[in-house]
Structure 1
Amino acid sequence: MPRVTVVIPVYNSATTAAEAIESALAQSYTDREIVAVNDGSTDASAEVLARFAGRIRMVTQSNRGLSAARNAGVRAGAGELLAFLDADDAWLPEFLARTIAALDRDPRCVLAYAQTTVVASDGSALGASIAGGPSRHHPPELGEMLEHLWPIMPSAVVMRRAAFERVGGFCEEFRGLGYEDVYMWLRARELGPFASLAEPLVRWRFSLFPARLKG
């Protein structure tokens, strides 16, 4: 049984999903399975996923939204740890190794997250991060998360399945982008502390930023 289940929700992500999957396959930490959930895509996403047959597990469902797709991927997997990777983002090769090591160092931690580097829609660097400034460079207390929007991106998170199940997974009332992750992290933080890694180990694609806007 793999220790980590990597969940990749895919919805009309034909242009980026292969890069995301390749980055998961290229991890130095190999005790993992990859579950891609095709959430009713109407583009060529299914054909892209088919190219990885035999190397990843695929789940197909009618369009139910991002939260439901992530939850479906978790149900299809068996890992005691869960890693979430959006289909337009990518991991550096040490992402899983570093985040899992952080969880192993402190059994109290329910979740570990890394920093991110922001890239444009074409994948070019924008010279920015989502660190949130020096005041956000530490794992948050629950009170801080209630006062401020904390910079924890889903693609930068590895969490314990036990914690995920205790909070009931991602709330499926959130169908699109926006706050389904914030709500999940708040509920998870009630269960225990987080671990924060200073390294930018994730390439987070801000698709609204064309490459010509980079600094």
Structure 2
Amino acid sequence: MQEVELATLPRLSVVIPNHNYAAYVGSAIRSALDIRWPNIEVIVVDDGSTDHSLDVINEFADEVTIISQANAGQMISCVNGFRRSSGDIIIFLDSDDALHPDVMTEIVSVWSKAASKYQFQMRVIDAEGKPTGNVLPQYFSCPSSEDVRKWMATTGAYPTPPGSGNAYPKWFVERVFGFESDFIDRAPDSYLLAAAPACGEIVTITKPLADYRVHGLNHGAFLQLDDTRFAREIDLTRRRYKFFSEIARTEKLPVAPDALKSNLLFLCLRIASFKLRPDLHPIAADSSLSIAVDALGAAASPQGFSRSQRISLLAWIFCILISPQYFRRALVSLRYVPAQRPKWLRALLGRLRIIR
């Protein structure tokens, strides 16, 4: 009887791509193995590491599937790991992150055949694994799938955790990885996060079920300000929305061609890039005036932010626009490097319900 019941449970596949994260990959693997779920497989793809990652990974050889390949990038690592998987649900776990033991139990409790993505909050930890007190994303209310689809189609944005905070049904990953596009990115996150609202329902779980480690080498998190990254993030956001539009077109979902003008997060990147590194700014003929006009319109556009959050982002954009050059960098750091915010500012933002 137990074998029959086990066979009916959805199988979870955790795919862990790794490149030179020997310090963290063992914790990631252990977190996947410690998930309280009877039907699970863990696949670790080492992408040509030159540190002792493989030594760490091989310590789990009896418990996980190991793929060792020449360095080809995170996208290829995830594709190769997915091809070896047999699960109904796929989680691509970054090798510096960790999953919580009850992640699959929570997913099954909100199971839906129509879902293209289950997303859950992530607890932010430092390099040593200590919680910083932050979570990603910070929800003040749980967004519906209809809201997410509308926000993505009209602004190119919706509140989503980074890659490890998402679980996908197998059919959806197959759909996205098999979709022909000229969008070539460093990781599968952009493909999957962008396409999900067009292909099915987004199920949001408003509790931390994974850890997001900030250690200074992350692609998506700042430990200190790097003003050369804004141009790259602008380019990534534009290509991500283009990919979403291509997928949406096949699903007969109408999208706004100029949606990014209403995207507050994109506008924050845009003003930071324009003011800090105009020599690298990738938007031709951009101007302070056009950014200000777009920001005013974006602040009135729902996209997963509360009213106080939209007002605060608008105020920050205008502060960057009018502040002297020597002060701008400090303002940008306060926005993009949370660890540098003084306690009084964090307390004020919490009281104003801008952060939690």
Residue 26 of structure 1 pairs with residue 34 of structure 2: yes
TM-aligned CA deviation for residue 182 of structure 1: 3.0
Q: Aligned equivalents of 1:159 and 1:87: distance in 2? A: 18
Q: How many residues of Structure 1 are paired with residues of Structure 2 in the alignment?
A: 208
Residue 84 of structure 1 pairs with residue 95 of structure 2: no
Contact 1:64/1:175, CA 8 A, preserved across alignment: no
What is the letter of the counterpart of residue 184 of structure 2? E
**Which residue number corresponds to residue 71 of structure 2?**
63
Tell which deviates more after alignment, 148-157 or 73-82: 148-157
Q: Aligned equivalents of 2:18 and 2:79: distance in 1? A: 13
What is the letter of the counterpart of residue 141 of structure 1? V
Q: Aligned equivalents of 2:142 and 2:185: distance in 1? A: 25
Q: How does 1:25-174 map to 2 (within 5 A)?
A: 25-103=33-111, 106-134=112-140, 137-139=143-145, 140-146=147-153, 147=155, 148=157, 150-168=159-177, 173-174=184-185
Q: Aligned equivalents of 2:192 and 2:202: distance in 1? A: 13
What is the letter of the counterpart of residue 158 of structure 1? A
Q: Aligned equivalents of 1:130 and 1:197: distance in 2? A: 12
TM-score normalised by the chain length of structure 2: 0.54
Larger RCO: 1 or 2 (CA < 8 Å, sep 6+): 1
**Secondary structure of the equivalent of 2:174?**
helix
Q: Aligned equivalents of 2:191 and 2:138: distance in 1? A: 18
Tell which deviates more after alignment, 181-190 or 10-19: 181-190
Q: Comparing both structures, which one devotes a greater share of its residues to strand? A: 1
Cα 1:69–1:169 shift into 2, 3 Å: farther
Q: Aligned equivalents of 1:126 and 1:62: distance in 2? A: 35
Question: Of 16, 26, 36, which residue of structure 2 is paired with 1:8?
Answer: 16
Contact 1:9/1:86, CA 8 A, preserved across alignment: yes
Cα 1:101–1:136 shift into 2, 3 Å: closer
Contact 1:136/1:151, CA 8 A, preserved across alignment: no
Unaligned runs of 5+ in 2: 1-6, 217-222, 225-338, 344-356
Unaligned runs of 5+ in 1: none
Cα 1:169–1:61 shift into 2, 3 Å: farther
**Secondary structure of the equivalent of 2:96?**
coil
TM-aligned CA deviation for residue 153 of structure 1: 1.8
**Which residue number corresponds to residue 193 of structure 2?**
185
Question: Which of structures 1 and 2 has the bigger CA Rg?
Answer: 2
Q: Aligned equivalents of 1:83 and 1:29: distance in 2? A: 14
Residue 196 of structure 1 pairs with residue 204 of structure 2: yes
TM-aligned CA deviation for residue 93 of structure 1: 0.8
TM-score normalised by the chain length of structure 1: 0.87
Cα 1:133–1:78 shift into 2, 3 Å: closer
Cα 1:169–1:70 shift into 2, 3 Å: farther
Contact 2:79/2:177, CA 8 A, preserved across alignment: no
Cα 1:51–1:169 shift into 2, 3 Å: farther
Q: Aligned equivalents of 1:133 and 1:110: distance in 2? A: 20
Cα 1:129–1:107 shift into 2, 3 Å: same
What is the letter of the counterpart of residue 124 of structure 1? K
Fraction of identical pairs, as percent: 27
TM-aligned CA deviation for residue 133 of structure 1: 4.5
Q: Aligned equivalents of 1:187 and 1:196: distance in 2? A: 16
Contact 1:132/1:151, CA 8 A, preserved across alignment: no
TM-aligned CA deviation for residue 95 of structure 1: 0.9
